[in-house]
Structure formats: structure tokens, C-alpha cells
Structure 1
Amino acid sequence: MAQTCIPKFPVVKAPLHTELRKRVQAYFDEKGITSAGTANLFTKAIVMIAALIVVYLHLLFFTPIWYIAIAECVVMGGLVAGIGFNVMHDGSHGSFSTKKLVNKIAATSINMLGADHFMWNMKHNMIHHSFTNIDGVDDDIEIGVLMRMAPTQKRLRMHKFQHFYFWFLYMLLYVFWIFFTDYKKYFTQKIGNVPLKKMAVKDHITFWGVKLYHAVAFIILPIIAVGWLSWLIGFLVMTMVAGFALSIVFQLAHTVEHTAFPTANVDSNTMGDEFAIHQIKTTANFATKNRLISWLVGGLNFQIEHHLFPKISHVHYPAISNIVRAVCMEYQLQYIEYPTMRKAIGAHVRFLKDMGRYD
């Protein structure tokens, strides 16, 4: 059964997280560098955002022949995901820069993509990072009746085929997010079973301002400029590319073979493992030697390091991964890692297949 209330983690005398922090901090002290982003990250952020604006304006005001337009919509979808991975994500965790204002600007880049930062911040930073893979609390594994993403979720007959149809469902993530789940969270004032923290007046204004801006920039103006049908085709291509990229990267981090889905003790509502061990058991890395993938997904293929050190920019994950791997060996913890993205996708497909066929 899923958790019905927010669980607690046990308090231990010598937490693994403390040891990890000590060793990682020693690395930064030895190198004489900060844990924030570097000049290369700032350059990448500027290039990605500028490219998105250029492609958008070119499609709107200099609409090319249909096959070039489709290609540009594919690129635009990739840029939406790329900005989310590389700019918004680090900014939301306060690791993009040493300056709070710069982090805030980077974090709110999600607003230019049509999603509300307040909702995402609570869903991702406060819930997912605290209660990873805990059914009933972690909203990232709550997809509804169409998919079974944890052993404690009810298995339906249709789930036998989920390892076939998940490709299409993942493509719908982005459009579903901006047109449904944001509104569901807003009006129910809950994320899954977890109550939303109280929204200030500025949060309400921002929410509706973002939705109005998105409707004007990505629906009304394009329809006026290129017509209804051309807009619909282009919009679907862009959102489906972005949706699949966003979905697959995050799913490969937690819903693959070997990752755990712990439940709390029924009587004490306490998890069996301390926080850091829980994060290691519920998280996986993939394609960490592939520099292109690491660059495109903002280091989120180093998901173990990210969950242990979310306030450290992803540009440092390749270096600190050696430290984390060594500590896991010392503590006899499995460091779950797939050498390529193809093998990670295979592990995800097999996981979905098992979830659909076995209780």
C-alpha cells in the first residue's frame, strides 16, 4: 500500500550524509573553487535561451517551408527541455550561481516555458528530493491509472502493455503539465496527497500571469501568424519532443531495474534507511562517460550525486562522483549505474514490463 502520510527518516549517530559532505567539501577546498556553476554554464544558458527566442521569432515572422518549420519545432522542443535541465533546474536548487538574484532569474526561466515555478519547486525540491520513490508521497511516480510505476501501486490489466505505450504517454508530459497538472495543483491546493504550502498574493499573480503569457505567446500569436492547422502541428511537435526528453531523463533516474521503492514502518511511520542511504538505493546514474549527453541533460545523468548534493551545480558531478562511488564501496552500498543511455532505457523498459506483469 502507498504511504498515507509523510514519513520520517531515522536519526543516527554518524549519518552517511555527514561523511559524504566532509569528503566532497574537502575536494572543493583542495581545488579552491565554489560549488556553483562556472562561466561555461552561464554561456550555455545564454546560448540556449537566445536560440529558443531566435527559433520562435523565425517560425512566427519568417515562417519557412513546412519541412524546415517541422525541423525547427523539433529543435525548439529540445531547447525547451535543455533550458529546463541546464538553467531552471540548477537555478531552482540555488546552485547555478553564488548570487541569489542570478539563481532566482535562472529558476524562473521555467515561467517563460509556460510552467509555474511555485508548483514545480514544491513538487520537485520539497517532495521528490525528500521522499524519492515513496509511493503516495513522491508525485513523480504518480502517473494515474495508465501506468504502474511502483510495486505498491495497483496493477491493472492494461499495465501488461505499458512497456509498449509509455513512449507515447511520455510525449504528452509537457502539454499535460502546462494545461492540466499545474491547474490541478492550484485548485486542489495539493500535490498528490501532500498539501500545498500557502501561496502568497504574488504567487497567485505569477501563476495567472505565466498562464496568460504562455497562451498569448505560444497559442494566440502563432495562430494569427501561421493559421490554426500549422500552429497545431508545430505546437504538438514541439511539446511532444520536449515532453519525451523531460520524461525519459527523469524516469531513467528512478524507475529502472535495481532501484528501490521503500515503505515506512506501519507503526512508527519511519523509513528503514537514513536519508543518504535512501537516496542511493532509490536512484540510478546513466551514460556518465558520455560528455555530450551530460552537456545536453545538465548533468542529470549523475542523478545519485544530484540527490545527495542538490545545491552543488551539475558541472561538478563528474568529479564528485568518484568520491560518492568510493564511499558506496566502503559502506557496501550498490552504486546503480548504467554505462549507456541505451542500456538505461532497456532497464526502464524491463522495469515497466515487470510492473505490468507481476505483483
Structure 2
Amino acid sequence: MEKRHIASHHAYPNVDGWDTDIEQSGLLLIIPWIKAKGIQKYQHKFFFLVYPLYLFNWMFIRDFRDFFDNNRVILKTQGSIPVVEKVKMVGYKLFYFFYQIAVPILFFKVSVGLALGAWFLQVIAASIFALFVLLPLHPLPDNAFPKLDEKNGLPFSWLHHQFEVTNDLAENNWFVRNVLGNFNFHVAHHLFPNYSYLYYNEITDEIEKFAKEHNLAYKRFPILTALGKHVDLLKQNANNAYYILEE
């Protein structure tokens, strides 16, 4: 999972067909320059019902498609996946379900309904938390969604690209830093993924100075403002605002 994240999301953030973290689905449309179709035209009205299911999709669909579908992004960035890795992925999933559901039932005499219900609520809570980290930092109308050219090239250099597609959160306190793992300093996370998050506060000061000196688009929003902007993006995409502006 870490290799997939670094090879696709860090290398191609906000790039349709390459960034697995903003992968398109049939229900929701994130990329502004793709025209909304069918139910996507109403996505701003039901997204709050879909987002809590985020990790269910990851567990039951996305991982299997990434490992067994030859047309997936992971193959474009990392090549074919060894059989042993596929076996490990399935094995770890089975172990996860064993200790999450089977262990409470078999060893602690918890009812099947209670075990399944507790697991279900846990995954919903984890999904909401995961999206609290992801949604305010990339898929906003203020961030770019660059198109590839005919040679699969991007319009910006890698450094410039990270500023165009990523923003930070304005909150910088003990609670936010520890709950989000300093992901509120998300530009630093993308530019220096191998550095400890403990240094992101100081690194961000230098990044902001660098951006001003080189006229780069460093952006920072309060978390609730950023989440509101994401909802605005869903509305714009549902209404095909990108196409209206082009015309």
C-alpha cells in the first residue's frame, strides 16, 4: 500500500488515471474537466451517504482490482505484481477479518450481530477520519487537476506540480498535529516524504518563503473552509461548471 501511495499519488497527485487516491468512481466525479453523467449530476446531494463507505470499497473492491486487473494504475507505475504479493494481500485480509470478527465471537462469546455491528461502525468511523485527512488537502476547486499531453507529459515540473495540486491546513495546534500526524503540513509531506513529520512545522516555514520568492501557489485553508470548498467542487462538477466556463 505504501509503494502504491508513493508511486501513484505522490508522483501524480490530482492526475486522472494515475493518482489512485482520487480515483474516479461511477457515483462521484472529482475531476472537473470530465463531464458529469447520470447520478453524478446529483452527487452534491448524496455524497455524505457514500463517503462513510470509503474503506469498505478499499477492502472489498479496490485492492483486488489493483492486484488482479491488468489495466490498473498500479501496473503503470510499478509493473506486474509478483504472485507472492497477491497471496500475502489475500492472506492479510483474511487475518484481519479473523481477529476483527471471528476472535470476539469465538473467544469472547460476543454475538455475531454485535461483532459485525461493532466492526461496521469502526470502519465507518475510520472512513470518515481518513477522508477528513484526504479531502481538505487535494480535491478542492483552488487546486489544479492537470491533463496529460499526447506524450503523457504534465504541464508543470514535479516541484511546481506539488504546489498547484496540494494545500495545507491553517490549523496548527497540538491536537491537529497529533490527530492528523502533521498532515496539516501537507505540502511538506509531498515535497519531503522521507523526512519525519516532526520537522514539518519548520520545513513549512521555509516552503512558504520559497513559494513567495519563486511565485509559486502556496495555499493554506482552515479545515472547515477546505471541506466546504470540496463540497463546492462536487457541486461545480455536478453542474458541469467547467464546461460552462469553457463555452
TM-score w.r.t. the length of structure 2 is 0.88
Identity between Structure 1 and Structure 2 (%): 27
2:80 alignment counterpart:
198
Deviations 1:291-342 (A, max 9, x none): 311210111111111111111111111111010001111111121110x211
2:167–2:219: 8 Å Cα contact kept in structure 1? Answer: yes
Listed as ranges, the gaps of 5+ residues in structure 2 are none
1:218 alignment counterpart:
100
Distance 2:72 2:198 in 1: 30
Greater Cα radius of gyration, structure 1 or 2: 1
Distance 2:88 2:185 in 1: 32
- State the secondary structure of the residue aligned to 2:136: helix
Change (3 A) 1:240 1:166: same
1:351 alignment counterpart:
233
1:139–1:191: 8 Å Cα contact kept in structure 2? Answer: no
- State the secondary structure of the residue aligned to 2:104: helix
Distance 2:223 2:42 in 1: 22
1:234 alignment counterpart:
118
- Give the counterpart letter for 1:183 in structure 2: F
Distance 1:241 1:217 in 2: 18
Tell me if 1:336 matches 2:219: yes
- 193-202 or 203-212: bigger deviation: 193-202
Distance 1:178 1:131 in 2: 23
1:135 Cα deviation from its structure 2 partner: 0.8
Distance 2:4 2:165 in 1: 17
1:250 alignment counterpart:
134
2:210 is aligned, of 308, 313, 327, to 327
Tell me if 1:264 matches 2:145: no
Listed as ranges, the gaps of 5+ residues in structure 1 are 1-119
2:11 alignment counterpart:
130
1:153 alignment counterpart:
34
Alignment of 1:28-47 (within 5 A): none
Alignment of 1:266-345 (within 5 A): 266=150, 268-338=151-221, 340-345=222-227
Change (3 A) 1:158 1:205: closer
- State the secondary structure of the residue aligned to 2:137: helix
- State the secondary structure of the residue aligned to 2:218: coil
1:238 Cα deviation from its structure 2 partner: 0.3
Deviations 1:167-194 (A, max 9, x none): 2222111122112211222221453474
Deviations 1:256-295 (A, max 9, x none): 12100111222x4321211100011000111342331121
- State the secondary structure of the residue aligned to 1:260: coil
Distance 2:227 2:12 in 1: 23
RMSD of aligned C-alpha atoms? 1.9
- State the secondary structure of the residue aligned to 1:317: helix
Change (3 A) 1:132 1:317: same
Q: Number of residue pairs matched?
A: 238
